Amino acid sequence: MFYKVLGWVAIVFSILALAPSVVPGGMSVLALYIVIPSLIVSIITIESGSVFYFKSTAIISAIGIFIVNDGLRLYGSLAKSPLIYKLSVYSIFIIICLLASFYAKKHPSVIKSIG
């Protein structure tokens, strides 16, 4: 029950972070500071034996980072955003997702539900 609540909280926070992502400036950075911890919290829910919460949070976070966020989006982002900032955020997101997928494959109860 704890993992379900934690998973839904992570999903809700990643959805709520989409609204400040559209606002240019500091609000888009604030949205990033909401998305990354919610993604990390959703990794904890893998212990419940399901990767649903992590996958949902990762997909919503990817949409928020790569498409919606004004400073980070792949096309049409703010001109003031330095490339190194974008690449570092992209790499943090990808590393978190890779580590979570390795953790899910290592966890015995998830292997049964994946295959």
User: For 6-41, how does the pLDDT look when each residue is reduced to its tens digit (9 = 90+)?
Assistant: 999 999 999 999 999 888 878 888 998 999 999 999
pTM score, two decimals? 0.84
Whether 115 has a pLDDT exceeding 50, the answer reads no
Q: What is the DSSP letter of 92?
A: H
Using CA atoms, how far residue 33 sits from 9, 61, 83, in Å, is: 15, 11, 18
Whether 79 has a pLDDT exceeding 60, the answer reads yes
Angle at 25 between CA 85 and CA 27, to 5 degrees: 100
